[in-house]
Amino acid sequence: MLTVSHLSKHFHDQPVLRDISLRLAEGEVLAVLGRSGCGKTTLLKILAGLETPDTGTLTLHGQDLLPVPPNERQMVYLYQEPLLFPHLTVFENVAFGLRIRKVKEAEIKRQVTELLAELELSEHAQKAPHQLSGGQRQRVSFGRALIIRPRLLLLDEPFGNLDAQTRAAMQELFGCVSRQHGITSIFVTHDSREALTVGSRLGYLERGVLTSFATVAEFIQDPRTNIAAELSFWENIQRTANLSVAE
Amino acid sequence: MKPLKPILPLYALLVIGLPLAGLGYALLGSVGVVGPLAEGFTGRYWQALAHDTGLLYAAAYSLWIAVASVGVSVGLALLLVLRAQPTLRRGPLPGLLYVPLVMPALVMAFYLFQLLSRAGWLSRLSSQLGLTGSIEAFPELVQDATGLGIIGAHVLLTFPFLTLLFQAIYQESRLAELGQLTSTLGASAGQFRRRVAAPVLLRRAAPTVLLSFIATLGAYDIPLLLGRPYPQMLSVFIATKLQRFDLRELPAAYLAGFLVAAGLLGLILVLLRVLKLKVKN
């Protein structure tokens, strides 16, 4: 479905992305793990059409995406912050994509009401964004993207600003909604646990080079993901705790 | 907190007490209770108001000037902020926008008078170039019936200020990022400007735009120099009445001053309430 071939990008002679290639099938969620400044945001922005690559090709269902402007790609880019429209209610924020497509009022009402119920936001429909919690705002942002049935959802550390509990709840919600709607997405994160929770496929981006993993085991074993080291750390803690109990 | 206690009533007295006292004095003056030739309570100045169209005409004229000046200024500022972001972020324009802000209103009026009057630079230039047959053939751009000169001066003073304000809101509200987001949601640049950027800017700037409107409505220096003896803007109309040698005119001037001040206060209260309701919704 989505094919990225030999994508490269420089900013002021500084390479940000180097020869990135990937393929993503319909309904897959590619979780890309990477530290700050590794090129994650640039990759997503190029896919969304907000940046242009220096070299490489992008195709979606065989269609060359490079000449297609962002507003015609049907690929929604979600920022780390929800960035809701401050002058619109929750209902109108979610309805935005339908209104600009001049969908009939009755249809807008039906679709938005259904989606708000699915995202457990029905009781907040008439609230302003500033009246919502961080998790609720992120759900509205998610709903605003989902309503236009994007061909590809690009998520740039969307739950990075949430507390651990809300973050876990949002990851679960994302997984449920993704499966239910068959959403294809690229989910960028710096949290290996989040990558493992949401991703059906896994990748690691470092200094502009993307490594794709065929299996979860490969991802865990790669020392750059730090998962093996973390597992060993917790095992040591557990062992020490057991020993002190035994003594 | 204790040291603030005596300052607060003093401040309240200065910003509320004294203006209200002035308003009360004007009201009493308009019914003949106070003033140099006060003869005791009378309602004749209020009754005479029904036959005097001068105040009403001045109010309508001021309203036109304020609506046109603030409307054009808001339009220009929006146009610049929404369509010329690269120019506003670098180059000489941001610095140049501050220049009119340090200029007193009277200086701006004088400059426009020199530039646009029939004896001014533009008129002489166009006459020299043969664009107009004589200096008198140059169109009336100042001291004209529609108030073009007054509107022009106010626009020159207000639009740079509003542009800087809108630009600050643009950055603080992260409208550039919202623009990118809306484009991935399928919106064109025009739809982003109409449905997101303009409403966000106008809503956040509404109290300041309202204050600019009130300030223009009550402006004195600019209409004094660039306006005609008739029609006059409110401040000039009242000042002219107050400064007449005939002291019998004073109560009518007090009445006009009272009505204008009370009207403006009422307008501020109503508009603030409307704005508050809109923000709540």
Question: In which domain, by residue range, is B62 found?
Answer: 56-280
Q: Which H helix or E strand runs over A198? A: helix A192-198
> Residue B3: its pLDDT value, please?
61
The residue that leads in pLDDT, A147 or B253, is: A147
Of A49, A69, A97, which is closest to B185 when you measure between CB atoms?
Answer: A97
Give the pLDDT mean for A36-63. 92
Sorted by sequence, the CB contacts under 8 Å of residue A175 that are 6+ apart come out as A197, A198
CATH number, residue B157:
1.10.3720.10
Residue B187 with chain A: CB contacts under 8 Å = 71, 96, 100
Which residue carries 């979600």 as its tokens?
A: A78
Residue B186 with chain A: CB contacts under 8 Å = 71-72, 74, 97, 100-101, 148
> Residue A187: its pLDDT value, please?
95
Residue B187, chain A, CB below 8 Å: the answer is yes
Name which of B194, B135, B31, B14 is nearest A96 in CA terms. Answer: B194
Distance CA B113, CA B226 (A): 7
Check whether B264 has a pLDDT greater than 90: no
* Residue A10 structure tokens: 């420089």
- pTM to 2 decimals? 0.86
Check whether A224 has a pLDDT greater than 90: no
Burial (CB count within 10 angstroms: exposed 0-12, middle 13-18, buried 19+), residue B238: buried
The neighbouring-strand residues paired with A185 are A29, A153
> Residue B278: its pLDDT value, please?
61
> Residue A188: its pLDDT value, please?
94
- Which residue type occupies A166? T
Q: Are B242 and B250 in contact (CB under 8 A)?
A: yes
Residue B205 with chain A: CB contacts under 8 Å = none
Q: Are A101 and B186 in contact (CB under 8 A)?
A: yes
Optimal mutation site among A68, A71, A142, interface B, most CBs of chain B within 10 A: A71
Residue B47, chain A, CB below 8 Å: the answer is no
Coarse DSSP helix, strand, coil percentages of chain A, rounded to the nearest 5 percent: 45, 25, 30
Phi, psi of A133 (to 5 degrees): -80, 170
Burial track B9-38 (b if 16+ CB lie within 10 A, e otherwise): eeeeeeeeeeeeeeeebbbbbbbbebbeee
Of A73, A83, A148, which is closest to B177 when you measure between CB atoms?
Answer: A83
Is residue B16 domain-resident?
A: no
Helices (H) and strands (E) in chain A, counts: 8, 10
Is residue B199 domain-resident?
A: yes
Residue B194, chain A, CB below 8 Å: the answer is no
Q: How far A233 CA lies from chain B's nearest CA (Å)?
A: 40
Q: pLDDT tens across B191-222, in order?
A: 999 999 999 999 999 989 988 999 999 899 99
> Residue B1: its pLDDT value, please?
52
Is residue B46 domain-resident?
A: no
Optimal mutation site among B180, B184, B204, interface A, most CBs of chain A within 10 A: B184
* 8-state DSSP, A68: S
- Give all domains of chain A, ordered by start, each with its CATH number: 2-83+150-213 (3.40.50.300)
Check whether B276 has a pLDDT greater than 80: no
Number of domains in chain B: 1
Is residue B27 domain-resident?
A: no
Burial (CB count within 10 angstroms: exposed 0-12, middle 13-18, buried 19+), residue B46: middle
Is residue B271 domain-resident?
A: yes
> Residue B4: its pLDDT value, please?
62
Give the pLDDT mean for B254-272. 85
Q: Are A34 and A156 in contact (CB under 8 A)?
A: no
Residue A76, chain B, CB below 8 Å: the answer is yes
Length reported for chain B: 281
Residue A74, chain B, CB below 8 Å: the answer is yes
Give the pLDDT mean for B257-280. 79
Task: Count CB neighbours of A101 within 10 A.
Answer: 13
Q: Are B59 and B65 in contact (CB under 8 A)?
A: no
Top-confidence range, B9-13, B107-111, B229-233: B107-111
Q: Which residue of B has its CA nearest to A155?
A: B181
Is residue B38 domain-resident?
A: no
> Residue A223: its pLDDT value, please?
87
Name which of A184, A171, A174, A211 is nearest A34 in CA terms. Answer: A211
The neighbouring-strand residues paired with A4 are A22, A58
Of A77, A85, A86, which is closest to B184 when you measure between CB atoms?
Answer: A77
**CA–CA distances in Å: residue A92 to residues A40, A99, A100:** 30, 9, 11
Check whether A233 has a pLDDT greater than 80: yes
Is residue B6 domain-resident?
A: no
Q: Which of residues 159-218 of A touch B (CB under 8 A)?
A: none
What ipTM does this complex have? Answer: 0.89
> Residue B24: its pLDDT value, please?
92
Chain-chain contact of A100 with B181 (C-beta, under 8 angstroms): no
Chain-chain contact of B184 with A72 (C-beta, under 8 angstroms): no
Sorted by sequence, the CB contacts under 8 Å of residue A88 that are 6+ apart come out as A96, A129
